[in-house]
Amino acid sequence: MNSIKPDKSGTSSQRAAAVLATSAVFVIVLVTGVLKCFSFLKNPHMDVGIYYEASLALRTGGDMFGTFHQAPLTYIYPPFFAILFMPFTYLTAEGAGVAWTIVNIALLLACLWLGGRELMRRFDARLDSATLPTLMLLSVVFFYPRIDAEFDQGQVDFLVLSGIIWSLMLVRRHPFLAGVLLGIVANVKYQTVIFVPYFLIRGWWSSAVGFVAGALAAALSGALVIGWATNLGYLGRAFSGLGNMMGMPPGEGNPPFILPVEWPESISLTSTFARWSDSAGFGDGGMLLMVVLAAAACLMLGVVIHRRSGMPLFRGRFGAAGRTADFVQPLIALEWIGLLVAAISFAPQTKMRHLALLLILAMMGVLLLIVQRPAVPRLPLLTVMILVFLVLVLPPPITDEMHDLRKSLRSQGMPIWGLLALYFMILWTGLKWARTMDGGRGVSDSTSLDESVNEVA
């Protein structure tokens, strides 16, 4: 597959469009970030305040999971990120909020640039020098409310997403390192654990081993800073708190405070089903049944879309990382994005701000819209993207009634239902696109990959 290089042969209008789009991205991101910096100078609130106090407690011998000024909220993850955050505790809480916002700005720009380049490379989708800047700009516009919320909360989703994008970039030629990165990221937030069964099903043993190695290295590295016993104690309490949220018996020690799975502000399908089940009197069993049925329905829909497209799902794709024909590479990107959508959709808790992790889903949709390919319809995808954008931003909470309506819709998981619809439309469109990379022939599960590669050659 051709690598993406700067297009020096573009027309002056294309170069002007590239400069304009790039400038617009920087202006939007920097202005948003600067405004948040001023906000943190007044009040280092929300998650960045929790990170600061947890890291300060680690540095001064306190309890990382202790109740701080934002009671009852506490730090809930393994100590890895809190240790990484320690240098910020040499600043004031306000200064730490500003410094982390600057880091978040850099992480967002890296996600847009590197993620856009990787998607374009996998889909062989560069038109001219303006393609990547346009992709970045439209993605920012589509997902701006989530970007704004990420900055406002001082969250770490762009750190997690940057690790996932780097891993996607590495998986073809360095599958072990790709797994290591995902394992390290799992110590920041747990979403990347979903890649483990994927690696095993695909037979990517090197990536699976890399994940375990990265996860263990990051989890145990805290012993170098806070001591072996203290680090193990925090790990046990973190995992105990996660189990408590899912209704498991509490383990030893004092786990961090974690809101229950049925928490009203969680928009995940798991939380939605928990609330439905409680209302109907079905309890945890009803919730688990609904989760299993919904997950099975999503899986079957994905299988049907693959079969209808004629592209391979299992047979002919085992061991695909780094050793496949070009037309398989976009399929891997679509699968990784699908895993992220699944992790967000079926997580024990998902708040609206956590949707920032799905920025790459928006980028994938925008790419399929702005680069035209023969026999790949774009109107259905455009329609769904517009509807999902409206679902994510409407109704505006300008009155008490509209605020209550927004809260009610989100308590029914409406944003997640919309994003699932968007993913499956992207999958349908992306698979049609992948067929064009194989001369329009495609590959079915009944055809071996070697035979298909020979045909293409």
Torsion of CA 75, 253, 264, 147, to 10 degrees: 20
Residue 76 has what pLDDT?
Answer: 87
pTM above 0.85, yes or no: yes
Domain with 327, as residue range(s), is: 266-457
Residue 219 has what pLDDT?
Answer: 94
| Mean pLDDT estimate for the chain | 86
Q: How wide is the angle at C-alpha 139 spanned by C-alphas 309 and 122, nearest 5°? A: 45
Residue 355 has what pLDDT?
Answer: 94
Question: Is-contact 368 429, C-beta < 8 A?
Answer: yes
Give me 455's structure tokens.
């045909």
Q: Is residue 310 part of a domain?
A: yes
Q: Is residue 446 part of a domain?
A: yes
Q: pLDDT tens, 57-70?
A: 999 988 888 877 66
Give the residue with greater pLDDT, 441 vs 226: 226
Residue 108 has pLDDT above 90, yes or no: yes
Q: Is residue 257 part of a domain?
A: no
Q: Is residue 276 part of a domain?
A: yes
Q: Is residue 125 part of a domain?
A: no
Q: pLDDT tens, 184-203?
A: 999 999 999 999 999 999 88
Q: Is residue 54 part of a domain?
A: no
**Cα 444 to Cα 446: distance, rounded to the nearest angstrom:** 5
Q: Is residue 142 part of a domain?
A: no
Average pLDDT in the 349-362 region? Answer: 93
Number of domains within the chain: 1
Q: pLDDT tens, 418-446?
A: 999 999 999 999 999 988 875 444 444 43
